[in-house]
Structure 1
Amino acid sequence: MTTHLNKVHHVTTITQVARDLGEDEDWLRDVANEMEIEDGAIWVYGVGEGGIRAFTDFGIERLTEMIRFYKENLDVRIRRRPPD
């Protein structure tokens, strides 16, 4: 019997990714709003927290591709996330 094992051993929060990439965190949240779990984007919940978006290494790669796309195509509108 073969069992599927999750090979993700760490994730990075959107705050850290924004710092690492030198991007505005609010803008990055809007870009990331289009991502799904298949893209390497997940929500992490902690005690007393509402949750924070985080990314696998693959998710950071996908997010970087999306950033590049939006910066090269300024006429394409980003879907805005609903206010918190």
Structure 2
Amino acid sequence: MTTHVNKVHHVTTIAKVAKDLGEDEDWLQDVASGMDIEDGVIWVYGVADDGVMAITDFGIENLIEILKMRREI
């Protein structure tokens, strides 16, 4: 029997990633919205809010690569 073990021990909100990268949060969220869970993006839901996008370290690396490709165009 194989059991899946989640190796993600933390995520970073899109707001923090935008601040760290010096990017506009709304624009960065638009870019990241094209990413899938396999790319390192998840949604975190609480009691009183609609949810917030969060990104794994792997997702941040993927997002940076996407930003580089967009800037080359």
TM, length-normalised to structure 2: 0.95
Runs (5+) with no aligned partner, structure 2 = none
Question: Which structure 2 residues correspond to residues 1-84 of structure 1 after superposition, within 5 A?
Answer: 1-73=1-73
TM, length-normalised to structure 1: 0.83
- The structure whose Rg is larger is 1
Identity %: 67
Aligned residues: 73
Runs (5+) with no aligned partner, structure 1 = 74-84
Superposition deviation, residue 3 in structure 1: 1.2
Kindly report structure 1 stretches of 4+ aligned residues shifted beyond 3 Å.
Answer: none
Question: Which residue type is aligned with residue 49 of structure 2?
Answer: E
Question: Which residue type is aligned with residue 60 of structure 1?
Answer: I
